[in-house]
Amino acid sequence: MCAILLVLGSCTKNTNQLGEVDAYVPIYGNVGDLKVITKQPPQPIVKGGKIAVIGNHLFQVESGEGIHVIDISNPIIPRKISFLRIPLCNEVTLRGNFLYTNNVSDLVTLNISDINNITTASRIINAFPNMQTQYPPQTNVYFECADVNKGMVIGWELKKVNNPKCRR
C-alpha cells in the first residue's frame, strides 16, 4: 500500500536505521465484527461529536464508537436512553423516522420510529471508501506500514518502534 502512496507523495519507505523511535502503529479490526451494530445501555460521553435532534430525542456521535440516544422531553434534565455501538461512526443526520450514519466505510440507515427498537433499514456497502486509513492522519511522523493481511486499520497509537519502515 505504501508503494502506491509513494507515487502519490503521501509516504516514503524509510531506509535509514533509526533505532528505537516514537512511531505510529496501526490498530487492526476484523471487518465482519466492525459492521455489527448493537444497542447497549447508556455510556459516558468521552469524545462527543456531532448532534442531531428530532422531536424529543437528541442523537450525539461518540467519535469512532457510536451514537448516544438521549431523551430531551425535559430539556433541563436530558436523560440518556441507550447507546448504539456503531464502530468507526463519526457522522449523523436525521430525516423523518430515519437516522443516517457511517459504519466503517458503509452508509447505514437506521429506522428510529420505535426508539426502544431501533433497526437497520439499509446499508450501502463502501459508500465512503476513503474512511479506511492506511497511514496515520499526522504528517512528518514515522509509522509501521499497514498490513492488509492483519485486517482493517481502525486507528493508530503512538509507541516505541525499532526502525519503522514508513514515514509520512
* pLDDT tens track for 82-140: 999 999 999 999 999 999 999 988 999 999 999 999 999 999 998 987 665 778 888 89
CA distance from start to end of the chain: 13
pLDDT on residue 12:
61
Poorest-confidence range of 22-31, 48-57, 80-89, 146-155? 146-155
Tell me the C-alpha distance between 2 and 31, whole Å.
Answer: 21
Contact 18, 137 (CB under 8 A): no
Considering only the C-alpha atoms of the chain, give the largest distance between any 2 of them, rounded to a whole number of Å: 61
| Local confidence band at 11 (pLDDT 50, 70, 90 cut-offs) | low
Model confidence, pTM: 0.76
Give the residue extent of every domain in the chain. 1-168
- Smallest CA-to-CA distance from 6 within 166, 151, 154, 162 is with 166
DSSP class of residue 72?
-
Residue 95, C-beta contacts closer than 8 angstroms, at least 6 positions apart: none
